[in-house]
Structure formats: structure tokens, C-alpha cells
Amino acid sequence: MINLKDCEFWFIVGSQDLYGDETLRQVADHAKIMTDEFNKSPYIPCAVVFKPTAKSPQGIRSLFEEANASPSCAGIITWMHTFSPSKMWIQGFSVNRKPLLHLHTQFNRDIPWAKIDMDFMNLNQSAHGDREHGYIHTRMRLARKVIAGFWQDNELRRKIGVWMRAASAKHEGMNKAVLRLGDNMREVAVTEGDKVEAQIKMGWQVNTWGIGDLADRYANISDSQAENLLNEYESLYEIAPGIKQDSVKRNTVLQQAKIEIALKQMLEVCNSGAFTTNFQDLHGLPQLPGLAAQRLMEQGYGFGAEGDWKQSMLTFCAKIMAQGLSGGVSFMEDYTYHFEPGNEAVLGAHMLEICPSIAQDRPRIEIHPLAIGGKDDPARLVFNAAAGSAVLATLVDLGNRFRMIVNEIETVKIENEMPRLPVARALWKPRPSLADSAEAWILCGGTHHSVYTSALTSDYFHDWAAMCGIEFVLIDKNTNVNRLQDELRWGETYWNQISYR
């Protein structure tokens, strides 16, 4: 997986020649100090790169052209220390292809009451210079993020960090493919979608390989390779009693180890960050990839079941955004409801494929029948998700656009044993309530599949959706279902205007 520190964000500070050399020197000095401080901040996960002060149309355009051509530049941060006439920026913005953050701050925190004079005012002009700058973004209808506040404030830096992580996920998505093993599950609508539009909007290459390609690799994985991986499993997870002693059961786990090795080889060869499987198409494999899919998610790969490539790539993007943060990211499915009055909750799980990064305790490898698909009993990791706040995010294709839906939830401790449901699972209380959240989600057309993350908040997905130019709908504690329905109607008009220009 990409290292976030390898993602560069170019800090371009605007000014103009009018002020003279001394003022321009101070502008550059301040920008350099800010760059260095940002790079030391634990809230800033990526590299901030100091760039020459922008003060002419030609110079600005060159900077943006250079940024476009740079494979490591994941976004641009602009700030107007002084006034920088915005007509100078039009050519640069016209060619810009990188996500843009307009940082609205000033170098000094306090007004120097006793010393303030006209020299100070000539140098420290962001309060009005950034308004001129913001106008041209709005006038040009440019997608951008605006973050305002004092640059040393940690909350401001946290917001920059959120945006950077989203931009890094967007950046890395441009380089990666989703490896689809087989097609979507037959007759299912919500997992379908426009793969060409996904590549245009989000950069994802969504391509298909036959399951036979994986089966061939699987057949060539040696027993000793699988035994080595089994040793790793034993160091990381509990193994259910009886598996190690029973040669058939032990072999079941070894088969998943071989699938994991073969699939990882294929992901690397195909430069893929994410993959999908389909239990209807497992020719040549002894089991549905259960443990193997869980393990690969834990290593940073996105996963989608039943051919759900949209949630697979979104899982991958969320894993990039969550890098180094506490909490995990997993593919998820709404499984069943608990309607006890006052204690309503959703049980989320999947047949097998939930990522152990969200586990409360050490996961346990177990083997049980699947009751679907007609293959051997698959090995899987069984665990409960850790309690705490989390979000669910999903992507659907509405025919003329993608819509992202995010629901803020509170995951709770599972108090009851479920000995006859041996799968990894999470139990949560969605905001604003189970009924309202489900009504809202269904009115949005949200799928039963989603990305579950305890590491991220809705802000990350909001920023990422904005960069991709796709619709974003939030369901949170303030959601009113009737009002949301109105917003969706208004949005329909807006998106019909701008889709397929």
C-alpha cells in the first residue's frame, strides 16, 4: 500500500510584484516556516512541499502544469498572504487537474495592537486577499475545499489532514485496478454500474479476469508455501479446537492459505488494489475465499463480495485514508435487525468476508458449512467488531451519476453468544435511529453492501466524493427523512444539469 508520506501537497502562496522585494521576501520566508511546521505536525500525514511565491500569470500556469505532470503531487494548497489579483490565476486553474485546497489563514495569530502600521497591512492581507482568491474559484465553478482558521491550530491541521488523506486515496485510485474474478452475482441490480464512468470520475480501472486464472495459480502453490502461511496464522489468530489434529480440517485451512498466496500474486501482477469474488463462479477452487479474503483485506486490499466492485474499490480507498489511524476498515453487509423497543440495532456481517482490522479481540479460525454455493466448508476468521463510533459508506450508480451515501453509527458490544452463527460480525445503532436511518438509506437507493470503518468519520468520504465530482448524502443525528427526500429531489435537478456535460 502507498505510504502517505510519499504523497506530496504543493503549498503555493500567492502575491504580486507590486509590493517590492522586501515584502515578497517576507512572504516566502513565512511560507517556508509554515511548510516546515506542517511537516512536523502529527495532524498532517503527507508531505507539504514549499513552492516559489506565485506572482505572475505565466509563473502560476507553469506551477500548475508542473503539478499535473508530477506523479507524486496528490493535491495543491493555495493561500494568499498578500493580495494576489485573481485574473492572474485563471490560466493556471484552467489547466489544473489536482485536488485543490484553499487555506484561509494568516501568519500572525493576534493583531499587534501597539505596532500595527501600513507596512504590516501591506504584508498581511489574507483577510481580503483570500476573498479575491475564493471569488475566482466560485466564478470558475471549481471544485475545492476551503479551510479557514489559524495555521497553528490543531483543529485546522486535522481538517487539512482529512482532506490530504482523501486526496491521497483519490491519487492512488488513479493508479490501481479492481480485479474482478468473474462478473456480478446474477440478477442483482445494486452491485452493477458503469465501469467506464467509474474510471472517468474516480480513476478506477475495473477489469475482469476469469476465475480459471486464479485456479491455475492456486494449483501451482506448493504445500510448503501454505505451511509457512499456516505458521503465520497460528501466531496471529486463535485456531479452533480440533483443526490442527484433524487432517481434513487442517487441509481446509491450508487450501485458504493457498488461495491467499495465489490471489496476492495475481493482485500484484495486475497492479490491483482491490478484488471481487462471486460464489456463483468458483470453478477450480475448493472453497469460497473466506479466510483468504479476510487476510488480504487486513493487508490493505479492498474487497467486494458477489462482484461488488464499487464497494471493493471504496474499501481500498478507505484503507488508504485510514492509514496509521486507530480503528479498522472492512467490507460489510446489513445482515439482520434487532427491533427490541429502545434497544434497536443492526447486525452486520457477511457470509465470511469481514476484515479483522475491526475486531475487538483476537480472531479465531473456524470451519463451518456455508449452506450456499455448493463448495467445501470454508475456513474463516470469527470475531466481534470493537465498540465505538463508526461510519458506513456506500456507492451506487443512479444511471447518470454515482451517489455516495454515508451513515454515522455507534457500534455496541455484543452481549449475546451466537454459537450457531460462526461469522465475523458487528452490532450497531445507526443515527438518527434504526427506522429513520433505514428509511433514509433506502430512499437514497443505498445497497446492502457498504464499507464499515471505525477509523474514519464522514468528513473523509465527503472530501473524497467532492474531489471525484460525485454526489454525497449524509445520514447522521440531524437527518430528517422528509427533508432528506426534498434534498434528493433538488439534487436530482442539480445533477441532471451537470451530468454528461
Instruction: List residues binding Mn ion (CB under 5 A).
Output: 305-306, 333
CB of 305 to Mn ion, least distance (A): 4
Query: Whole-number minimum distance, CB 381 to Mn ion, in Å?
Result: 17
Helix axes 211-219, 247-269, angle to 10 degrees: 120
Find the shortest distance in angstroms from Cβ 234 to Mn ion: 29
Distance in angstroms (rounded) separating the CA atoms of residues 258 and 285: 10
Mode of pairing for the β-strands spanning 238-239 and 364-367:
parallel
Closest CB 390 distance from Mn ion, rounded Å: 19
- Residue number with CB closer to Mn ion (291 or 474): 291
CB 168 within 8 A of CB 320: yes
Q: Quick one: 8 or 306, whose CB is closer to Mn ion?
A: 306
Q: Which residue is nearest to Mn ion (CB)?
A: 305
Chain-centroid distance of CA 187 in Å reads 28
Question: Which residue number, 92 or 348, has a Cβ lying nearer to Mn ion?
Answer: 348
- Alpha-carbon Rg for the chain, nearest whole angstrom, is 25
Asked if 492 contacts 398 with a C-beta cutoff of 8 angstroms, the reply is no
- Rounded to a whole number of angstroms, the minimum distance from the CB of residue 395 to Mn ion is 15
- Encode burial over 123-143: b for 16+ CB neighbours within 10 A, e otherwise: bbbbeebbebbbebbeeeeee
Q: What is the DSSP letter of 326?
A: S
b/e per residue 56-94 (b: at least 16 CB within 10 A): eeeebbbbbeebeeeeebbbbbbbbbbbbbbebbebbbe
Residue whose grid cell is 466524493 = 465
Give SS3 for 69. helix
Q: How far is the CB of 108 from Mn ion (least distance, A)?
A: 55
Could you tell me which of 245, 416, 293, 243 has the C-alpha nearest to residue 345? 416
Nearer to Mn ion, 46 or 314 (CB): 314
Q: In the bound complex, what is the minimum distance in angstroms from residue 304's beta carbon to Mn ion? A: 9
**Residue number, 27 or 396, with CB nearest to Mn ion:** 396
Cβ within 8 Å of residue 21, ≥6 positions away? none
Residue 100 grid coordinates = 485543490
Smallest gap from Cβ 333 to Mn ion, in A, equals 5
Q: Which is nearer to Mn ion, 48 or 305 (CB)?
A: 305
Whichever of 23 and 315 has its CB closer to Mn ion, that residue is 315
Residue 305 or residue 320: which is nearer to Mn ion going by CB?
305
